[in-house]
Amino acid sequence: MFLVSVFCFLAFSVIRGDPAVFAAGTDAAHGQLEALREEMGLNKNIIARYFDWLSSFFAGNPGNSLRFRGEAISALIRTRLPVTFSLALLSLFFIALISVPVSLLTINREGNIVSFAEGKGGDRLVNFITAAGISVPGFFMGLLFIWVFGLGAKIFVPGSYVDYRENFWGFIRYLCFPALAIAVPNAAVMIKFLRGSLFQELQSDYVRTARSKGGSRLYAMRRHALKNALVPAITVLGMIIAEVFSGSIIIEQVFTIPGAGRLLIAAIGSRDYPLIQTLMVYIAFIVVFANTLADIAIMIIDPRINNPALKGRGMLFLKGICIRGLIPVLSALKGGVLTPSARIRQGRDI
């Protein structure tokens, strides 16, 4: 996070733009601009300005915003974070609600992906939908929701944001479509990984042994296969959580949601260096924290990672699963749909 703050500060220090001009306007006199730069601390060199911000940040007070003059950065972020966190949590709820049932329901009784043995188009339909979900950007999905459900069906009024302090349920209702715009592409990625992992695990010897002992398909999946299939899915989920919590910037702009992402765009547009720095450190923290949680969850689910004797083989096993899980995602991104025979060969290789 320290390196993120350094590179971010250097990047925004070398690009063109003067916060004093943004604050005073282009018609301001030269003396007025110089006085404003002195007040904002812009006349100091880059190193002095960075360490001034860093010392204030570690003291718990990252300073005042240059764009919102007189307002503390901590107060600005404190009012925006609940909105962004609510949007992120609702998005994760929709991701789980979509990806888990679809992944489980598209595995047939023999433990194969639907239509491999049945000759039906179920697998092709699911692959087409997930490929479309991965290919469509979140902001375009948001614009599509606004056009279809906002302007067309009149289910919600675009731009009529409801503050959570005034009407909590109205606030949640307004966030449903932005959360779906974030959730659909990420749910498509989760479906690709979880279906591939379930297919691999349901072909394993230990699942066939459990079925031969009289265990039902549901018992074998719930008791044995699902736990092991979650390992690569949790790795992807860690990246998705980081993206959802820190990457809702465009969606907030599309739906005019006053969250941390929209605040970051406003700060970048006005060269508000202290506010940009603080928000970038927040994003870096979310990425590190989410991936750490994913690593901890994997170690809890798969004891081989905690076993020194099996750690090396376990990590190779996990890397192999993740690489194999990327195959359908990459094929979808390239626009290609694997034929049934190719998918069968891919399943045998797994």
154 conformational bin, left if phi > 0, alpha if psi -120 to 50, beta if neither: left
Q: Is residue 63 included in any domain, yes or no?
A: no
Measured CA to CA in angstroms, residue 97 lies from 94, 104, 188, 273 at distances of 5, 12, 12, 39
40 and 101 within one domain: no
Number of domains in the chain: 2
175 and 54 within one domain: no
Q: What is the CATH number of the domain that holds 319?
A: 1.10.3720.10
How far apart (Å, rounded) are the C-alpha atoms in residues 260 and 252?
9
Q: Is residue 68 included in any domain, yes or no?
A: no
199 and 145 within one domain: yes
**pLDDT in tens for each of the 350 residues of the chain?**
778 777 777 777 777 766 777 666 666 777 777 777 776 677 777 788 788 778 877 877 777 777 777 678 888 888 888 898 899 999 999 998 998 888 877 765 444 444 433 445 566 777 788 888 888 888 888 888 899 888 888 888 888 888 888 888 989 999 999 999 999 988 888 888 888 888 777 777 777 777 777 766 667 777 777 777 777 788 888 888 888 876 678 888 889 888 888 888 888 877 777 888 888 888 888 888 888 888 888 888 776 666 554 444 444 444 444 444 443 333 333 333 343 344 334 334 43
79 and 51 within one domain: no
45 and 142 within one domain: no
81 and 54 within one domain: no
99 and 35 within one domain: no
Q: Is residue 170 included in any domain, yes or no?
A: yes
254 and 227 within one domain: yes
The residue segments making up the domain with residue 121 are: 75-349
235 and 131 within one domain: yes
DSSP 151: I
Q: Is residue 144 included in any domain, yes or no?
A: yes
What does the buried/exposed string (b/e) look like for 77-113 if buried means 16 or more CB atoms within 10 Å of the residue's CB?
bebbeebbebbbebbbebbeebbbebbbebbbeebbb
218 and 122 within one domain: yes
Strand partners, 113: 107
Phi, psi values for residue 60, rounded to 5°: 90, 5
119 and 25 within one domain: no
User: pTM for the full model?
Assistant: 0.73
